[in-house]
Structure 1
Amino acid sequence: MTVQDVRAFNRFYTNVIDALDYSRRLYAPYTLTESRVLYELAHSPHTDVADLRAELSLDAGYLSRILNRFERDGLVERVPSPRDPRRRRITLTARGRETADLLGERSGQAVGALLSKVPAADRSRLAEAMRTIREILSDPRPPRAEDVVLREPGPGDLGWIVQRNAALYAAEYGWNADYEGLVARIVADFAGDHDPHLERVWIAESEGRPVGCVMCVRDEVPGAARLRLLLVEPDARGLGIGDRLVGAVVDFARGVGYREVVLWTNDVLTAARRIYQRHGFVLVAEKPHRSFGRDLVGQDWRLDLRATPE
């Protein structure tokens, strides 16, 4: 890639933005930068001026002028920060939140109109290309717990589950392609035939990137749900994501009427086993076996959902 390649893409994307008429119509009477400040305030309800300036990389004088205008328009209030009285905290007023919601609605409508021209078959490719550009050009920053959301899988996510399970377990435990085959069959069975009322997959996402997953499916034993394929990316560990994923399975299983949740794991997966224990799972059986190119000790764990939760 050359400088000219990047400049050519910039010219193309600028034309796309101009087509949406962001600067003249979409955010009127505010500029694109002013609208971005409103967006940040709407999504960060307890923001100090210094934090806002750092987040948006804005000149202090420029940001001050924007906030002065917002204050005159009745959109924001500035009060001493409870963390440090020398700092100023910015909060949206009711009018400010209405304005931010209106601008967000306009933006969504404009982007929706643009995407309506993209064939459905190409939208996943477009989304993946956008994620790739963001990941490559963004400053490397580990995920933060507050940025992680749990969501349902979208196009490509089930394939990601197979790929990341295979790659991580090969790298961390030396498991061979037999494990990838097992994960592929589990995922294919879910994709081909599952009851959305009784079976679910959760993807943990941080800033547009999957960082974890788990699955809840019906077990062969009537009334039992089976937890499968719990995974958290290495750079996202330590944030409580695995705990949230297991909690999502337990809450879902209890909510739809399962009597118990069962799972099978191996004793080498110590971090996962600690999570299961915290949620009340009990080890009921273990047995040595040779799988995935390694000598392992398989373990069966069970959680009785009829017991009163702690």
Structure 2
Amino acid sequence: MAVQEIREFNRFYTNLIGALDYSRHLHTPFTLTEARVLYELAHARRTDAADLRVELSLDAGHLSRMLSKFEERQLVTRRPSEEDARRQRIELTKQGKEAASLLEERAQEAVGSLVGRITPEDRPRLTAAMRTVREILHDDHRVTTGPRVILRVPRSGDLGWAIERNASVYAAEYGWDEGYEALVARIVADYAADHDPEREGMWVAELDGERAGCVFCVRDDAPDTARLRLLLVDPAARGHGIGGRLVDACISFARQAGYRDMVLWTNDVLAGARRIYQRAGFELVAQKPHHSFGQDLVGQDWRLVL
């Protein structure tokens, strides 16, 4: 039954988005695979040919021919990697960036047209269902004997849990006082009272069925800017890549929602979180000492161009 349902869904969705005729669908000269490569190059800070091949599950010969075609059209440059001369560093040229930008613009328009046919009441249900499909298949297509991690949308009790665990963890590990708990409570209360599910979201990570972490994506005061808030991984659940998956979910949502930038504020003592942000492509743009939560801290502003 599951196999047949998945095959039926694949046929339905492929026909819906016109993926079998990608160039006509978005009025571009690129095939679906070429568009995927351009997208990866446009959104990755540094990309080697080997990384592209693994990330997109492409045949090495096919990828090499495609990159040669891109070079002929002056869309990319190839050179030996600084870290390993045996690897090729691939970068978009100005023309390549323009082509990728045009693809992104037309893809957004196409999906926006599709979403426009869906009632506002059904859109949150649709996006939640699609996230669930990705999360389940992302986990289950790898056969492992280790703990099972999933990300899900919030349920009753999750907001209260986010407040309690943030306060408890930071008090235990960094000595932060009730001022931090008050800040978290205000952030969560504002989200609960008035958030747009198409532009803001919360994700809860579970490890073997138990809450293990969370993160929020909310609108920033700056135009077209999303703000990542309250990233938390429970100490007992660390070491399973949960923080990275939560941040990736936040970034993916922000891109789909049409934001151009994502920002966040953290403190320099949170070294583990900073490493996650750096791996995701965030860049430090400002830092300033402050006294908060009963401690002398250095606050940091980070930014990611989406």
Interval of TM-score (by shorter of Structure 1 and Structure 2): 0.5 to 0.7
Identity level (%): 46
Partners of 2:4 and 2:191 in 1: how far apart?
Answer: 43
> Tell me, what secondary structure is at the counterpart of 2:265?
helix
* 1:137-158: CA deviation from partner (whole Å, max 9, x where unpaired): 11479xxxxxxxxxxxxxx659
Q: Cα–Cα, structure 1 residues 162 and 56, in superposed 2: closer, same or farther, change >3 Å?
A: same
Is the radius of gyration larger for structure 1 or structure 2? 1
Pairwise CA distance, 1:163: 6.9
Are positions 1:162 and 2:179 aligned together? no
**Separation of aligned partners in 2, 1:124 and 1:73:** 41
Structure-1 separation of matches of 2:95 and 2:157: 42
The residue number in structure 2 matching 1:105 is 105
Show structure 1 runs of 5+ residues with no match. Answer: 142-155, 173-184, 195-200, 216-227, 252-270, 273-278, 283-300
Once the two structures are superposed, residues 103-154 of structure 1 have per-residue CA deviations (whole angstroms, 9 ceiling, x without a partner) of 110000000000000111111111111111101111479xxxxxxxxxxxxx
What SS is found at the alignment partner of 1:121? Answer: coil
Aligned position for 1:60? 60
C-alpha separation in 2, matches of 1:38 and 1:27: 16
Match of 1:5 in 2: 5
- Output the aligned Cα RMSD: 4.7
In structure 1, the partner of 2:133 is 133
TM-score (norm 1): 0.54
**Residue 232 of structure 2: aligned partner:** 231
Q: Aligned to 1:29, what secondary structure does the other structure show?
A: coil
Residue 302, structure 1, aligned to residue 302, structure 2: no
- 4+ aligned runs moved over 3 Å, structure 1: 156-161, 163-169, 185-194, 201-206, 228-231, 235-239, 279-282
Distance in structure 2 (CA, Å) of the matches to 1:6 and 1:237: 27
Alignment of 1:1-310 (within 5 A): 1-18=1-18, 22-26=22-26, 28-139=28-139, 161-162=158-159, 165=162, 189-190=189-190, 211-213=213-215, 231-232=232-233, 234=237, 235-236=240-241, 248=265, 301-303=293-295
Larger CA deviation: 105-114 vs 47-56: 47-56
Q: CA contact under 8 A between 1:39 and 1:100: conserved in structure 2?
A: yes
For residue 261 of structure 1, what is the aligned residue in structure 2? none
Report how many residues are paired.
214
The answer to whether the Cα contact below 8 Å between 1:47 and 1:89 also exists between their aligned partners in 2 is: yes
TM-score normalised per structure 2: 0.55
Residue 309 and residue 92 in structure 1: after superposition, are their counterparts in 2 closer, same or farther (change >3 A)?
A: closer
Residue 88 of structure 1 and its aligned partner are, at CA, apart by 1.1
Structure 2 unmatched ranges of 5 or more: 143-152, 170-184, 195-199, 206-211, 218-228, 248-263, 274-288, 301-306
Compare 228-237 and 101-110 and name the one that shifted more: 228-237
